[in-house]
Amino acid sequence: MGGKIFKTGLVYLLFSVVVMLLDYLTKQCIVSNVPVNDIAGSIEVIPNFFRIIHVHNHGAAFSFLAGQNGWQVVFFSVIAIAVSCFCIRGMFKNSRSQLISNTGYALIVGGALGNLYDRIAYGYVIDFLDFNFGNYHYPAFNVADCGICAGVFLWCVYELFLNKNNKENSDNAGK
């Protein structure tokens, strides 16, 4: 049984651990060096474009549901666990050779669990990457969010363009 697991996509969970570790270490660096909610204390990396800040996000993407009274922490935690289970199941069903699909799944798991840690430990997610495009300000995000976005992108590329099972099913649907 043990040898069979190494033939599945579960070996890609190493990417999940790397994302979680990078996320944790960068957030600890921010907490230690950048004052929370203080624009004056932020670090301007590229003037009028990119800075490092320290904000607490009590919601999800774009601070969705941040103004609620705490139930959203449980809600987003359950979603993170469910998505992680779905991705881990996908990796288990995949062969080790399915690089793009497994890497996508692993990045999603690492990002979801990185933000889950924050929600459980603090009741909010620490965000610190802050971009401005002219007059448009993009909401701050973190390494875990980057992992999730990159993972979803890879998973979509695989499912839409590379998954031979989906192509065969769509070809047969028209017959």
pLDDT tens by residue, 135-172 = 999 999 999 999 999 999 999 999 999 887 755 544 44
Extents of the domains making up the chain: 7-170
pLDDT, position 74: 82
pLDDT, position 71: 67
**Which residue, chain included where needed, has tokens 């935690």?**
77
Please report which helix (H) or strand (E) contains residue 154, including its range: helix 143-157
Name the percent of the chain lying above pLDDT 90: 73
Closest C-alpha to 127, from 112, 111, 149, 145: 145
pLDDT, position 11: 94
Please, are residues 55 and 36 in contact by the beta-carbon 8 Å criterion? Answer: yes
Q: How far apart are CA 53 and CA 141, in angstroms?
A: 10
Mean pLDDT for the stretch of residues 54-71: 68
pLDDT, position 13: 96
Q: How far apart are CA 170 and CA 160, in angstroms?
A: 11
Please, are residues 72 and 112 in contact by the beta-carbon 8 Å criterion? Answer: no
- Return the higher-pLDDT residue of 18 and 73: 18
Q: Which two tokens stand for residue 38?
A: 């203080």
Q: Which two tokens stand for residue 6?
A: 């190494």
Average pLDDT of the chain? 88
Give the model confidence (pLDDT) of 27-49 as tens digits. 999 999 999 999 889 999 999 99
pLDDT at 52 over 70: yes
Give the model confidence (pLDDT) of 102-124 as tens digits. 999 999 999 999 999 999 999 89
Please, are residues 148 and 79 in contact by the beta-carbon 8 Å criterion? Answer: no
Please, are residues 112 and 148 in contact by the beta-carbon 8 Å criterion? Answer: yes
Mean pLDDT for the stretch of residues 51-66: 75
Helix, strand, coil content of the chain in percent (nearest 5):
65, 15, 20
Cβ neighbors of 13 (< 8 A, separation 6 or more) are 88, 91, 106, 109
Catalytic residues: 127, 145
Q: How confident is the model at residue 88 (pLDDT cuts 50, 70, 90)?
A: very high
pTM exceeds 0.85 for this model? yes
